Amino acid sequence: MGMAGETLVQQNKELLTELEAGLGYRFTDLRLLQKALVHASYAFEQAQGGNDNQILEFIGDAVLDLVIGHRLCHLFPTMREGELTRFRSSLVNETHLAEMARRLELGRFLCLGKGEDASNGRNKSSILSCAFEAVIGAVFEDGGYDTAVALVHRLFSESIVRKKEELQLADAKSRLQEVLQEKHNQAPIYRLDGEEGPSHRKRFTVSVLFHDRVLGSGQAGSKKEAEQRAAAEALAGLERQQGS
């Protein structure tokens, strides 16, 4: 980053130290963390083309793909490749990485061009997700692979559990259909049992039936999710029957 980078580090020392605390990692070379926070619009304005976070973002993207892919293989050894790919992409897509960035309040630490800053750039998912990848890239460059692995595992542990539940819910309807089609060559029926609450906070109750027998029911803020929950409950019930 040269002299300009040194100056930025001096100017932003307190902020960088605060971000280090949030990450739980101390940099040997703070210029790497600073560079991860420099958006192209800022570098362009300062006539420092190339002194932005794009290369670190490229590295961080690769690190996340590898570390999270490897982690999922170890945590869920029976999962098929297609499922692993979907699971990983739910964790490294722009929406989720921006959510991770917001948890670290990354927007506060960014160096943005004036126009980008004025147009709410600090809260743009595209900018935040790229900056998050760049920070991971900076940790990898500064501390090596094992350090990056430890950080990614710590930052993503809760999300992995949550996304697993979401994916299982999303798959529940198709899995239930497969089970019943295979056994009885018929699909289940979903019945809306109730809607309550104001329009902006509705709760839907749905039952899933097979041959007029209720296999499961679910409640959620959308009909689709209530159906998924009903299917998940039905699957759990069928698995218990098989096990007994």
61 is catalytic: yes
Binding-site positions: 57, 133
* Token pair in block for residue 110: 């960014």
Q: 52 catalytic, yes or no?
A: no
CATH architecture of the domain with residue range 2-166: Orthogonal Bundle (1.10)
Residue environment code for 193-225, b if the CB has 16+ CB neighbours within 10 A, otherwise e: eeeeeeeeeeebbbbbbbeeeebbbbebeeeeb
pLDDT, tens digit (0-9, with 9 covering 90-100), for 17-57: 999 999 999 999 999 999 999 999 988 888 776 689 999 99
At residue 214, what is the residue type?
V
C-alpha distance from residue 206 to each of 178, 181, 216, 233 (Å):
20, 21, 9, 11
Residues at the binding site for Mg(2+) are 57, 133
Structure confidence at residue 2 (pLDDT): 55
Q: Given 52, 61, 141, 233, which residue is catalytic?
A: 61
**188-243, CATH topology level:** Double Stranded RNA Binding Domain (3.30.160)
pLDDT at 194 over 60: yes
- pTM beyond 0.85, yes or no: no
What spatial distance separates the first Cα and last Cα of the chain, rounded to whole Å? Answer: 65
Q: ∠ at Cα 210 (207, 213), nearest 5°?
A: 70
Strand-pair category, 213-220 with 189-196: unpaired
In tens, the pLDDT along 73-125 reads: 999 999 899 989 999 999 999 999 999 999 999 999 999 999 998 999 999 99
Question: What is the distance between the alpha carbons of residues 171 and 167, in angstroms, rounded to a whole number?
Answer: 6
For residue 175, the model assigns a pLDDT of: 86
Catalytic position from the list 52, 116, 133, 233: 133
Domain boundaries, the chain: 2-166, 188-243
